[in-house]
Structure 1
Amino acid sequence: MPLGRLDYKQSYKTIKTILSPINLNQLQMVVEVSQSNWDEELENIDTPFLISFWAGWCGPCQALNPVIEDLSEIFAHKIKVCRLNADHDPALCDAFGVKKIPALLFVVDKKIVAQYEGFVSKEELEDEIRQYV
């Protein structure tokens, strides 16, 4: 095939395969939570969850994002991994006593079992989570 020409049928087939429901269901995504979807996402679940309080302007928060995403993959189907934008939901931050970001809470059986402020290594978080799952 000459450069510059696309085989649209082949491209569509490739994209359809990549985005098939089977593949999408295998991916564990980090769920964005807020006051508006808190009850739906977290209030009535039995699964342990890790929630990251962050903001777009926060450098350490940005550095922690890949760690959060990795944990989402490592513990897929064992815990729910969430992010909450502290700038958008200060009331939830207050409810959990979050004063600094980034902040992480790990909740098991509706109880906070671990709480971190600032950057935390992936290894430290993995060790903590493995104690409960």
Structure 2
Amino acid sequence: MAENVLEFTDANFQSEVLEASEPVLVDFWAPWCGPCKMMMPTIEEIASDYSGRVRVGKLNTDENPGIASASSINAIPTVMLYKNGEVVEKFVGVTPKERFAASLDSQL
């Protein structure tokens, strides 16, 4: 995983995502998911492009079922944008970088 892509877990989700002062983009994924692997370069590019302005991270749904369940993740990849602890946008399936960028730009 790229150095500017954070790892979110059931244990740190509250502090790292819900209590963050900046917008947070969370990629819900699993290692066996082909489309999730396809999304990895896009997530890494977004993390690099928005470094210092947006927190970007991944949450492995297999290892962190509590947050995945609480977030009503029914399909992966699912990417959610949080601001002030609330979901402001949800993307399901492989999503182009431009859609993430437009959504992030509207929250900054």
TM-score category by the smaller chain?
A: over 0.9
CA contact (8 A) 2:19 2:85 kept: no
CA contact (8 A) 2:18 2:84 kept: no
CA contact (8 A) 2:26 2:80 kept: yes
Higher RCO structure, 1 or 2 (CA under 8 Å, sep 6+): 2
**Structure-2 separation of matches of 1:86 and 1:33:** 10
**Structure-2 separation of matches of 1:98 and 1:39:** 17
Q: 2:69 aligns with which of 94, 98, 110?
A: 94
TM-score, normalization by structure 1: 0.76
1:49-88 equivalent positions in 2, closer than 5 A:
49-88=24-63
Q: Which runs of 5+ in 1 are unaligned?
A: 1-26
In the alignment, what sits opposite 1:111? 86
How far did residue 28 of structure 1 move? 6.2
**Structure-1 separation of matches of 2:91 and 2:38:** 15
**Structure-2 separation of matches of 1:44 and 1:112:** 12
Aligned length: 107
CA contact (8 A) 2:19 2:84 kept: no
RMSD: 1.5
Once the two structures are overlaid, the 10-residue window that deviates more, 28-37 or 70-79, is 28-37
**Structure-1 separation of matches of 2:18 and 2:90:** 18
In the alignment, what sits opposite 1:33? 8
Larger strand fraction of residues: 2
CA contact (8 A) 1:61 1:101 kept: yes
% of aligned pairs identical? 27
TM-score, normalization by structure 2: 0.92
Query: Aligned AA for 1:29?
Result: N
**Structure-2 separation of matches of 1:76 and 1:46:** 14
**Structure-2 separation of matches of 1:100 and 1:94:** 11
Q: Does 1:130 align with 2:83?
A: no
Q: Which runs of 4+ in 1 moved over 6 A?
A: none
CA contact (8 A) 2:24 2:81 kept: yes
